[in-house]
Amino acid sequence: MEEFEHGSWGNEDDDVEEVPGPLAMVVFHEGVVDVDKEVTAAPERMRDTSPKQNGKWTSEPIWSRRSRRKRKPIAVRDHPPQGRRPGCGRKSNRQPKLDANEKVKKQKGAATSKLKSEHVAGPSSSMAFVHQIDEDPVVEGAEDGEDRKRIKEILRKYHAIRRSLQQQAEATKPGCPKLRRSDLKAGKIMRDNMEHFDFNEIGDVPGLNVGDCFFYRFELLLVGLHREVQAGIACYRPKNGDSVASSVIASGGYEDDQDNGEFLVYTGQGGNNYYGDRRQAKDQTATRGNLGLQNSCRQKTPVRVIRGHSNVPSSPSGKVYSYDGLYEVEKFTKEQGNSGFMVFKFFMRRLPSQPELGSNVVKFMGRLAKVPSQRTGLVMLDISLQQEPVPVCVVNTVDADQQHPEPFQYTTKVCYGEALIKPSAPKPCSCTKCHDVFGGCHCVAKNLGGKLAYNHDGNLVRALPIVYECGNHCNCSQNCYNRVTQKGVQHRLEIFKTVNKGWGVRSWDFISAGSFVCEYTGELLDANAANDLDNDEYLFNLDFKKGNEARWGHVSDVPDSIASGIPGAVPDGADYVIDASKHGNVARFINHSCDPNLFVQCVLYDHHDLRIPHVMLFASSNIAPFHELTYDYGYTLNSVYDANGNVKTKACHCGAAICSRRMY
């Protein structure tokens, strides 16, 4: 099962580059920051040396390339979709059962009545769209929340099992560069346990939104989006009716494919030389998926289209599959293809009144990687001033004067306040490589179960009460698999101004579940001394027990044959706090959510004092680019009091379907 049929491989011509460097750095000044002016006036070492745009992008098909134009901000040329947030699913219309013709009528009626995404009024039309990405999502009701919750739970459990299987293989096959398809093995376990959504109908899948992205083909099957693990065309057979196509995967795997987004010429399946030059090797026949697409054309039934993208650096599989909505097969032909063999060509057009294409975000990532200085609404190219491995930019399209955050001292480490002494370094390990899951490293042995906390991709396999990493005094190198959080920010993060929540943070990259995002840094203070502070908005209580509240991948979700132990109890109480009001990093801008996509994991490496662990934020689920990063602040209602002993309240604007409407 190494090779898949039509659609399993992405377009090898996709050109998605990583962020270039070094980038121009802009510091805070009095008043509004003029980025163009600052970059021009900066010394040579501070100037933007990123590659210049040449007017054409190799990731676009030839037939969709536009003529050379005047340089504009990237977001104006080709911006990411403005569809609904992943937390908001669609209502299920599965009952009563409909035949194929009734289904398409219902789908078309729903599509035309669906509201389009509107631009939010901003300082200028060229910037208006940016701040509405993931802002104030439309919540369609409890049923929608339950559908979405089911989908998220399936994916969360799938990736928890996949990471555990990958770690097992790394332990038994050290040095193996890639695990033998842990994605397929995890999917088989889920199917055998009937832990998937067996959606065998045409039209939208309840709980899934246009724009949803996935890293593995098996995810599409588990959530009911595409029921075939190998074939690129999945079919649905109604009672007393002909089989019709329910979904297709378009990845440019056939030489006769043509794709410009809203319109697609899809080559039928069969006859492709997958194990050779991938060219057509024989004629196609009107069977299986080809027959299903022909019937879809005759009966005018909608087809779900998923696009595959390859060479995506931030994806754990190197691929991304984006759901791009419902299409109609307008016509089909059988003609001689480029290689001289007869192939079916299906001319498919996207149904109107749907959210924007999910695949747009992948192209948008590539453009930002090439010319990040052209980001719309850019205030600063790197607020960290090169302290982070990758730049952390600031974007504001809400304020007319492009107001920037209040000045603070950026620090990538926790600073110890007055009268506080940093604990002594722990005993170092003498290992040269700490890659073995059950190795002799005594740093790894301190973890629960004595296992390495991460797989070789740097993903946290499961949440733990505490993670012990190797430190600077250890003999192993900085490339040690047990030093994940000490490498700093690895994803291209963006601080952006929200409409009603102040500043927020999102990523330009795909972030897979279990990935390290950033550390919450600031000034370490005694908890009693922190009570006298005037500004408590940036305080993080080091209540150790909160670090054990795993918000993803509990070990109990993994079968006993894979898991090895359950996190134990940890002490209550907080003797210290981290104050990020004057000193901090990008984490100080991450907002609260009642349905977060990040969680807190406590880590120790430079000392072993359990009272002052490092506060690390990890992804609790797969996060698509330009979706706001959030974590649960951990407040309970009616738990905050003012100086007079009265209960203080603060409204919550996270917009989640399960939002409590109050932060505390």
- For the chain, helix (H) and strand (E) counts, in that order, are 10, 24
Q: Which of 41-50, 515-524, 609-618 bottoms out in mean pLDDT, i.e. has the lowest?
A: 41-50
pLDDT of residue 593 exceeding 70: yes
pLDDT digits (tens, 9 = 90+) for 620-640: 888 989 999 999 887 777 777
Residue at 331 is within a domain: yes
The answer to whether position 161 is within a domain reads: no
pLDDT at 587: 97
More confident call, 546 vs 457: 457
Angle between helices 182-192 and 142-172 (to 10 degrees): 130
For residue 41, what are the β-bridge partners?
Answer: none
Q: What local confidence, expressed as pLDDT, does residue 436 receive? A: 62
Q: How far is CA 569 from the centre of its chain?
A: 31
**What is the average per-residue pLDDT within 583-595?**
94
Residue 418 located in a structural domain: no
CA distance 409 to 588: 12
Q: Assign residue 110 a region: left if phi > 0, alpha if psi is -120 to 50, beta otherwise?
A: alpha
If one compares 167 and 62, the residue with the highest pLDDT of the two is 167
- The whole domain housing 116 covers 100-140+197-369
- Residue 235 belongs to a domain: yes
Distance CA 357, CA 250 (A): 13
pLDDT per residue as tens digits for the range 376-424:
889 999 999 999 999 999 999 888 887 889 999 999 999 998 788 889 9
Q: What is the pLDDT of residues 249-283, one digit of tens each?
A: 998 766 677 777 889 899 888 877 765 566 777 88
Q: What is the pLDDT of residues 24-81, one digit of tens each?
A: 333 333 333 333 333 333 333 333 333 333 333 333 332 233 333 444 555 544 444 4
Lookup: tokens for 597:
């996509």
- Report residue 294 as tokens: 């022909």
Question: Would you say residue 110 lies in a domain?
Answer: yes
pLDDT in the model for residue 276: 57
Q: What CATH number should be reported for the domain holding residue 347?
A: 2.30.280.10
Residues 79 and 512: their CA atoms lie apart, in Å, by 22
Domain-embedded: residue 317: yes
> Residue 323: in which H helix or E strand, if any?
strand 319-336
- Taking alpha carbons only, the member of 622, 653, 618, 388 closest to residue 494 is 388
In this structure, is residue 449 part of a structural domain?
A: no
Phi, psi of 299 (to 5 degrees): -95, -5
The structural domain count of the chain equals 1
In DSSP notation, 332-389 reads EEEEE-TTSSEEEEEEEEEPSS-PPPTTHHHHHHHHHHH-GGG-TTEEES-TTTT-SS
pLDDT in tens, 91-117: 333 344 445 445 444 444 443 333 222
- Give the pLDDT confidence score for residue 565 in this predicted structure: 39
Contact 373, 75 (CB under 8 A): no
More confident of the two residues 31 and 577:
577
Q: Where residue 217 falls among pLDDT bands split at 50, 70, 90?
A: very high
Length of the chain: 664
The token pair that represents 520 in the structure block: 């919450």
Say what the pLDDT of residue 202 is.
93
Q: Which residues pair with 209 in a beta bridge?
A: none
What rounded mean pLDDT belongs to the chain?
75
Asked whether residue 292 carries a pLDDT value surpassing 60, the answer given is yes
Stated as kind and residue range, the H or E segment containing 517 is strand 516-519
538 phi/psi in degrees, rounded to 5:
-115, 20
For the chain, helix, strand, coil in percent to 5 are 20, 20, 60
Q: Give the residues across from 331 on adjacent strands.
A: 347
* 70-74, 121-125, 146-150, 291-295: the lowest-pLDDT one: 121-125
- 614 is written with which tokens? 């490092």
Asked if 266 and 250 touch (Cβ cutoff 8 Å), the reply is yes
Question: Would 109 be classed as within a structural domain?
Answer: yes
- Cβ atoms of residues 589 and 504 within 8 Å: yes
Please say if the pLDDT value at position 468 is more than 80. yes
What pLDDT is recorded for position 81? Answer: 41
C-alpha R_g of the chain: 26
pLDDT of residue 149: 86
pLDDT digits (tens, 9 = 90+) for 341-383: 888 999 999 999 998 888 888 878 878 888 888 888 899 999 9
- Identify the pLDDT of residue 506: 95
- The neighbouring-strand residues paired with 233 are 248
